Amino acid sequence: MLLKVSHKIFLLTILLSFSSVLSTVQAQNQQKNQTGFFHDLTQLSKKLGVEIAENSPHLALYKEAAKWLGTRYRRGGSSAKGVDCSGFTGIIYNVVFNQSLSRRSADIAKEVSFDVNKKDLKTGDLVFFATSGNKKGINHVGVYLKDNLFVHASCSNGVIVSNLDEPYYKRTWRKGGRIEKKDEEKFRSQFLPKQALSVVIPTLNVSSELPNISDLNLFSSSKK
């Protein structure tokens, strides 16, 4: 009888130890994932020059915009080999918001849901400029980030982040525009820290899988 009791106690100890190890691994892995996420968020903020909160609903936009920084300008381009302003803006809206835009800045300006004053701009809004000398003819477009910063494909510098207060953009500014967006929240989830384990480890539910102590009959006096 004592041997059976010792054997059952031993099994129970093993099961409890295994469960404890799994819990520790899960906690460490979750902390590791969160640490990596916050590091990436810090790097993303530095790259774009904007402060990004961990719960920002615009992570997908920031992530996609940062991917294109430094891409060279190419008239009519819409690939990693080179983009122009409307091509870049169209890519951002297609990837982040699942929406298609026209291929010309002037046409996009006509298609906005409504115009937006500079002081009322929100993340994801469009910003329009007339840089050709024609004060009314819109020929440049970018995507507003926050804090007066916008990302766009510049003829001279490729994809960069610029400030609306720069003299050049203050002089050539025409209007802001907002297009009702569809799917940003859907794309946001892929940039949140993963809570699950990065390696496959069987999960042990202690309450349901460990034998009930009362069922072990540790102190049973019956002989079998």
Residue 66: enclosing H or E segment and its boundaries? helix 59-68
Task: Please pick, among 7, 39, 58, 152, the residue that the annotation labels catalytic.
Answer: 152
Of 20-29, 98-107, 143-152, 204-213, the least confident: 204-213
Task: Please pick, among 7, 39, 140, 155, the residue that the annotation labels catalytic.
Answer: 140
| Mean pLDDT of the chain, nearest integer | 79
Whole-structure pTM value: 0.68
> Nearest Cα to 111, choosing from 123, 93, 95?
93
Q: How far is the C-alpha of 18 from the C-alpha of 93, rounded, in Å?
A: 48
Query: Where does residue 82 fall: left (phi above 0), alpha (psi -120 to 50 degrees), or beta otherwise?
Result: left
The question of whether 85 is a catalytic residue gets the answer yes
CATH code assigned to 56-188: 3.90.1720.10
The confidence band for 180, taking pLDDT boundaries of 50, 70 and 90, is confident
Q: Where are the domains of the chain?
A: 1-48, 56-188
User: Phi, psi at residue 34, to the nearest 5°?
Assistant: -65, -40
The confidence band for 56, taking pLDDT boundaries of 50, 70 and 90, is very high
Q: What is the largest CA-CA distance in the chain?
A: 102
What is the pLDDT averaged over residues 179-206?
Answer: 48
Dump pLDDT digits (tens) for 93-120: 999 999 999 999 999 999 999 999 999 9
- Per-residue pLDDT for 73 more than 50? yes
What is the pLDDT averaged over residues 150-158?
Answer: 97
What sections of 78-183 are H helices per DSSP? 85-97, 105-111, 167-172
Dump pLDDT digits (tens) for 24-44: 555 544 544 444 555 789 999
Quick one: tokens of 97?
């918001």
- Per-residue pLDDT for 157 more than 50? yes
- Per-residue pLDDT for 193 more than 90? no
The question of whether 7 is a catalytic residue gets the answer no
The confidence band for 218, taking pLDDT boundaries of 50, 70 and 90, is very low
Task: Please pick, among 7, 39, 85, 155, the residue that the annotation labels catalytic.
Answer: 85
The question of whether 155 is a catalytic residue gets the answer no
Within a 10 A sphere around the Cβ of 106, how many other Cβ atoms?
15
Quick one: tokens of 19?
């469960």
